[in-house]
Amino acid sequence: MSTYGHLFRVTTFGESHCASVGAIIDGCPPGLTLSPEDIQIQLDRRRPGQSDLTTPRNEKDRVHLQSGLELGVTLGTPIALLVKNEDQRPHDYSETDSYPRPSHADYTYLEKYGVKASSGGGRSSARETIGRVAAGAIAEKYLKTAFGIEVIAFVSSVGKINIPSSVPSSLPSNEDDDEVEDALSEEFRNLLATVTREQVDQHPTRCPHPETAERMTKRIIRAKDTSDSIGGIVTCVIRNVPSGLGEPCFDKFEATLAHAMLSIPATKAFEIGSGFRGTQVPGSKHNDAFVRRDDGRLGTKTNWSGGVQGGITNGEDIYFRLGFKSPATISQAQDTAQYDGTPGSLAARGRHDPCVVPRAVPIVEAMASLVVMDQLLIQNARKTAASLLPPITTLPPTMVMPVLTVDFLFLFASAFPIAPSFAVPAVDFFLSILFLLEPLVLLTASLIPFAFHVC
Ligand SMILES: Cc1cc2nc3c(=O)[nH]c(=O)nc-3n(C[C@H](O)[C@H](O)[C@H](O)COP(=O)(O)O)c2cc1C
């Protein structure tokens, strides 16, 4: 379907050569400050014609907001937005009237619907992703404003060229040897922890490792000069995601993430955390041991799980990789067959990306934001519903989340039916002060047994 999400629901519309493409977003929280610029910035990172490394199709991709906000503030009503298709050249596709492009979607769309758009990829074209990127920018604005969540994607591989140690270098030579190189080097893990969008955008490849970026450029130019194409990998990290997101069993966080990511055109592989490499590491080395964080809550010492356990986020950074194939449309002649089976040779015309990963970066960020946004609204709805019930007192402590001293007060307060009009903000303020004092309370509590021991 063309709709994604449950509570933050995005429907995209449009084909590559129709009047416009765009999205309708239902479920955006009211009261979010939003300007067209918040959206345009990501559309500009996605648009074609940005550099020699992408298709020269020249689209400005200006966003037109139609509804759902007034005076720069969202109303909670559906947001409709569109982008006009301007630089269309349908005649570029005349040879594909008789030839389905190998490894593109022409044949399968026709098999499925019995009819297809007359030129270009129609719905399968990357122009469809404009609606996703625009909707993702809105979700991202909310996530950043309300939770400080950051979503950063970057190009980590093009063809066989990788950011050092971003992919495992070799399989272990001795199958009985448990010494396996870490799935990700320390250097790459540091990059994941610190990389910024500014660093990513410093090079047209969107690879934040300058020396690797130069080699990637040469590889993409070589593909272009030989009328060919090449694939690559986008890595993404999501920081400051609260624990508790994800809906077992079928909508586990990583399942929805994989679903969203593999819905992006040209994707062929998805790995989260240690991924396939983790399968070679014994549990004794792969387990993420728990540690107490500075705020008194549990965290993990390592993060091979990629921030998700049991399909639920654990509060650590979420990181994953997405493999993009080499684009299908190439102007090099390929032996293939026409729709009626007649053998022939196709050298596709048209303006195409020799490698999609530099432009895929904002699309990956958008889909990641949509997943987190939807899961966050679902979990917040559940938490709000539960907070209206009296505290649990009848169950053994092993069954209930050990509440910290101040959380007791929160539960206690939430058990009272307070009129929401003016009393709740005051209670919230009181509780936030207590929350800030929580580490102090915990420290004092942890000193009590020590004091007894000394006595
Ligand atoms: C940003 C981006 C740009 C793309 N540009 C092209 C392109 O210029 N030519 C092409 O054949 N495919 C391109 N694709 C991929 C096709 O849309 C995709 O391969 C095609 O619809 C078939 O779908 P599938 O690869 O998911 O099976 C692009 C994909 C993305 C994400």
CA dihedral over 10, 31, 134, 156, signed as positive or negative: negative
Its pTM stands at 0.88
- Is ligand 1 within 6 A of the CB of residue 138? no
Peptide bond into 355 cis (omega under 30): no
**281 CB-side CA count, 13 A:** 20
Q: Residue 384's CB: how many other CB atoms inside 10 A? A: 10
User: 243 C-alpha vs ligand 1 centroid, how far in Å?
Assistant: 34
Q: Which atom of ligand 1 is nearest to the CA of 264?
A: 31
Q: Which residues are catalytic?
A: 17, 104, 353
Among 3-7, 93-97, 140-144, 154-158, where is mean pLDDT lowest? 93-97
Residue recorded with tokens 């922890």: 193
User: 12 C-alpha vs ligand 1 centroid, how far in Å?
Assistant: 17
Q: Which atom of ligand 1 is nearest to the CA of 104?
A: 22
Choose one of 55, 124, 155, 357 to mutate for the ligand 1 pocket test, by most ligand atoms within 8 angstroms of C-beta: 124
Q: Which atom of ligand 1 is nearest to the CA of 353?
A: 8
CA distance 367 to 227: 30
User: 271 C-alpha vs ligand 1 centroid, how far in Å?
Assistant: 20
Choose one of 89, 125, 234, 325 to mutate for the ligand 1 pocket test, by most ligand atoms within 8 angstroms of C-beta: 125
Strands 73-74 and 232-239: unpaired
pLDDT at position 409 is: 54
pLDDT at position 198 is: 98
User: 23 C-alpha vs ligand 1 centroid, how far in Å?
Assistant: 19
Cβ contacts of 361 within 8 Å, gap of 6 or more? 45, 153, 154, 155, 200, 206, 234
- Is ligand 1 within 6 A of the CB of residue 353? yes
Does residue 180 contact residue 172 with C-beta atoms inside 8 Å? yes
Among 40-54, 64-78, 165-179, 317-331, where is mean pLDDT lowest? 165-179
Q: Is the pLDDT of residue 422 over 60?
A: no
In 3D space, the residue among 444, 418, 443 whose CA is nearest the CA of residue 431 turns out to be 418
Residue recorded with tokens 């992408």: 54
Cβ contacts of 269 within 8 Å, gap of 6 or more? 321, 322, 323
User: 9 C-alpha vs ligand 1 centroid, how far in Å?
Assistant: 24
Structurally, at CATH architecture level, domain 3-382 sits in 4-Layer Sandwich (3.60)
Q: What is the mean pLDDT of residues 318-325?
A: 98
User: 268 C-alpha vs ligand 1 centroid, how far in Å?
Assistant: 11
Give me 74's structure tokens: 């969202």
- Is ligand 1 within 6 A of the CB of residue 57? no
Phi, psi (deg, nearest 5) at residue 433? -60, -45
Give me 226's structure tokens: 């030989």
> Where are the chain's structural domains?
3-382, 397-454
Q: What is the mean pLDDT of residues 80-84?
A: 97
CA distance 154 to 39: 19
pLDDT at position 58 is: 78
User: 127 C-alpha vs ligand 1 centroid, how far in Å?
Assistant: 9
Q: What percent of the chain has pLDDT over 90?
A: 73
At residue 419 the predicted structure's pLDDT band, cuts being 50, 70 and 90, is very low
CA dihedral over 199, 201, 205, 210, signed as positive or negative: negative
* 392: DSSP letter: P
- Is ligand 1 within 6 A of the CB of residue 308? no
- Is ligand 1 within 6 A of the CB of residue 133? no
Note the pLDDT tens digit of each residue in 143-194.
Answer: 999 999 999 999 999 999 999 877 665 555 677 777 777 778 889 999 999 9
Choose one of 12, 104, 224 to mutate for the ligand 1 pocket test, by most ligand atoms within 8 angstroms of C-beta: 104
Higher pLDDT among residues 97 and 65, named by residue? 65
Report the nearest-CA residue for atom 21 of ligand 1.
124
Q: Which atom of ligand 1 is nearest to the CA of 330?
A: 11
- Look over the chain and give the mean of its residue pLDDT values, rounded to a whole number: 88
Cβ contacts of 144 within 8 Å, gap of 6 or more? 150
Note the pLDDT tens digit of each residue in 433-446.
Answer: 655 565 565 555 55
Note the pLDDT tens digit of each residue in 241-258.
Answer: 999 999 999 999 999 999
